[in-house]
């Protein structure tokens, strides 16, 4: 049997990586998650790791659950429900780059000093 010659470009997400920020995670045409990384001087798509995929899935599920709670009266606003799901994800996956924003913590440290 002949194997099909499928290139990565056929499986990658549609948006061009140079438009997006680094570490952006999107679902590709193959149904798997891809992220934007820096390669020499340009950006390119690379398949996301299992841990990053689990983090992304957990975040989307908690957002859905918390927005349902918001509609039932569990949260005061939808923004509060989304913020709660981000903190829940950060607790479960502390090394996940989708949730942690290193730039924000650096700015806060500079303001304190």
Does 42 share its domain with 57? no
Q: Could you tell me if 35 and 59 lie in one domain?
A: no
Q: Is the pLDDT of residue 2 over 60?
A: no
Q: Could you tell me the residue range of the domain that residue 58 belongs to?
A: 49-95
Which of 9 and 110 is assigned the larger pLDDT? 9
Using CA atoms, how far apart are residues 3 and 104, in angstroms rounded to an integer?
Answer: 47
Quick one: 33 and 54 in the same domain? no
Lowest mean pLDDT among 24-33, 87-96, 98-107: 98-107
113, part of any domain: no
pLDDT for residue 113 is more than 60 = no
Going by C-alpha positions, the residue among 84, 55, 87 that lies closest to residue 70 is: 84
For the chain, the domain total comes to: 2
The answer on 62 and 83 residing in a single domain is: yes
13-67 per-position pLDDT tens digit: 888 888 888 888 888 888 888 989 898 899 999 998 889 889 989 999 999 999 9
pTM of the full predicted structure?
A: 0.69
In sequence order, what E strands does 3-63 have? 25-27, 33-39, 42-47
Residue 70 pLDDT > 60? yes
- Do 77 and 88 lie in a common domain? yes
Helix, strand, coil percent content, the chain, rounded in steps of 5 = 45, 15, 40
């Amino acid at each position: 049997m002949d194997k099909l010659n499928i290139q990565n470009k056929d499986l990658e997400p549609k948006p061009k990586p140079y438009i997006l920020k680094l570490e952006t995670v999107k679902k590709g045409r193959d149904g798997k998650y891809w992220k934007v990384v820096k390669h020499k001087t340009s950006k390119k798509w690379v398949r996301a790791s299992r841990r990053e995929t689990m983090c992304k899935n957990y975040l989307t599920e908690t957002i859905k659950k918390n927005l349902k709670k918001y509609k039932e009266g569990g949260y005061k606003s939808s923004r509060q429900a989304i913020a709660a799901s981000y903190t829940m994800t950060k607790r479960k996956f502390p090394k996940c780059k989708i949730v942690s924003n290193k730039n924000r913590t650096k700015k806060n440290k500079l303001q304190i000093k």
